[in-house]
Amino acid sequence: MSFKRSGIPRALLSISCASLVGGGGILSANAADSAVLKAYNLYNQKQYGPSADAYETIIRTASPEPRLYYYAALANKAAGRAARARQLFDYIAKNFGGTQEGLMSQSALGIAPSAGAVAAPGLPAATATAVPGPTAAASAGPSLPRVKGGLAFTPEEIAKEGANAIDQSRYPNCWFEASMSALAQLPRGQRLLANMIHYGQGDKYVVRFPGDGKEYVVSEADCEEAGITNRALWASLLECAQIKKFPNNQGAGGAYDDQSRLEVGMGCITGSKAEILMMNANTSASELSSFIGGAVRSGNPIVAGTYGDSALRDLPDLVIGGHAYTIIGIDQSRNMVTVRNPHGAGSQRFNLADDPNHLKFEQKGDGVFKMNLELIPRYFHSMARSFI
């Protein structure tokens, strides 16, 4: 059987072929392949009940195998079938106690591993901490062990810090970081980001930007070497992949260098064409309110770019010139737009001296500020939004 042809992680193929085809199994190799892939994909799509049912169908005719039973237990647990999940964890812990799945099943049951217990050969020890124990917060969501080709992060893990996980590093890629921040604060965006990062070989990760058709292999060591220091690993991996896709910002203006970087950044991270609003002194507050409000109300990403320093020199210092920002909200009753600088915690802070009641500008924490709609076209030249 060809691993490359099927596209299923090698660890999953090992349970399908060995358990379902050999030893009197009734499924053909292709059928085994398909059955495991179906159950695995259903889990990744958060269809936990159907995934658990699919795994239960497989294990009825399969030879007992710890990894197969462990995946079935995870699916049942996520589906709210606690009694069945515990039964499977207990079976694995008692009958395959020396394997990695046995140790993780003991953890899931709240049983401390016996002294001297070691991970099974060939399985990465890092997976021992990948499965939440019984006291883990519900918001963390279920996590699969490290499996080549499997998702590395859940949407819940990305939602935990959201846009606050992103602190732009030394690279001049605000045009990308702002759009990534926009996705990180939105439920659909969090799912989209999670689907971009998969486990690779060994300590590697594989990033696939939507609609790109290419794979970018990165690691934590690559991020450290490049000086990428976002608060969350998923954000650093995506930034590292972006730097590989656009080395020294080559291509950031599109294939023919005729697109704005806001448009390219939004298209890269969403896979969807961006809608651009160019602004000038005559752009009305109502037009801006409609453009921003349409994205915010529908839960879609929107970013904005500032004029260069020379165009801003006669205005009070409220933004960084030639920089991209994420728009994260709008209060239409007060005509105030909430904006985030992708520099995050390291953002430069500003203050409007003649506005003590913050009717025009208010600096908040982590790079966030509020600005009146009337000031937006004076400081920002364009906005880009996309519907995901």
For the chain, the distance separating the N- and C-terminal CA atoms, rounded to the nearest angstrom, is 37
Tell me, what's the pLDDT at 266?
95
- Residue 143 included in any domain: no
Number of domains, the chain? 3
The last residue of a domain, from among 114, 144, 166: 114
Assess whether 218 and 313 both reside in one domain.
Answer: no
Q: Are 342 and 326 in contact (CB under 8 A)?
A: yes
Q: Per the structure block, which two tokens stand in for 22?
A: 């050999």
Does residue 32 sit within a domain?
A: yes
Euclidean distance between CA atoms 221 and 202, whole angstroms: 12
**How many Cβ atoms sit within 10 Å of the Cβ of residue 58?**
23
Quote the pLDDT of residue 322.
96
Residues 93 and 174 in one domain: no
Q: Are residues 98 and 170 located together in one domain of the fold? A: no
Final residue of a domain: which of 114, 141, 171? 114
Which run of H or E residues covers position 271? none
Mean pLDDT, consecutive 10-residue segments, the chain of 388 residues? 34 42 39 71 84 86 80 88 86 80 79 45 29 29 64 90 88 95 95 94 94 93 91 94 94 82 95 94 93 95 96 96 96 94 91 94 94 97 95
Q: What is the 3-state secondary structure (H, E, C) of 282-319?
A: CCCHHHHHHHHHHHHHCCCCEEEEECCHHHHCCCCCCC
Q: Are residues 211 and 315 in the same domain?
A: no
Give φ, ψ of 220 to 5 degrees.
Answer: -60, -35
Look at residue 43 in the predicted model and tell me its pLDDT.
83
Q: Do both 14 and 94 map to the same domain?
A: yes
Residue 354 belongs to a domain: yes
Amino acid found at 385: R
pTM: 0.64
pLDDT of residue 145: 64
What residue numbers bound the domain in which 108 lies?
Answer: 3-114
Asked whether residue 124 is domain-assigned, the answer is no
Beta bridge partners of 340: 326, 368
Rounded Cα gap, residues 288 and 342, in angstroms = 22
Quote the Cα angle for 161-167-170, to 5°.
160
Sheet strands side by side (includes 380-385) = 275-278, 380-385, 302-306, 324-331, 336-340, 368-372, 361-363
- Residue 236 shares a structural domain with residue 295: no
DSSP label at residue 360 = S
Domain endpoint, select from 82, 114, 146: 114
pLDDT for the residue numbered 147 = 82
Reduce the DSSP state of residue 369 to 3 states and report it: strand
- Are 94 and 186 within one domain? no
Whole-number Å distance between alpha carbons of 189 and 21: 40
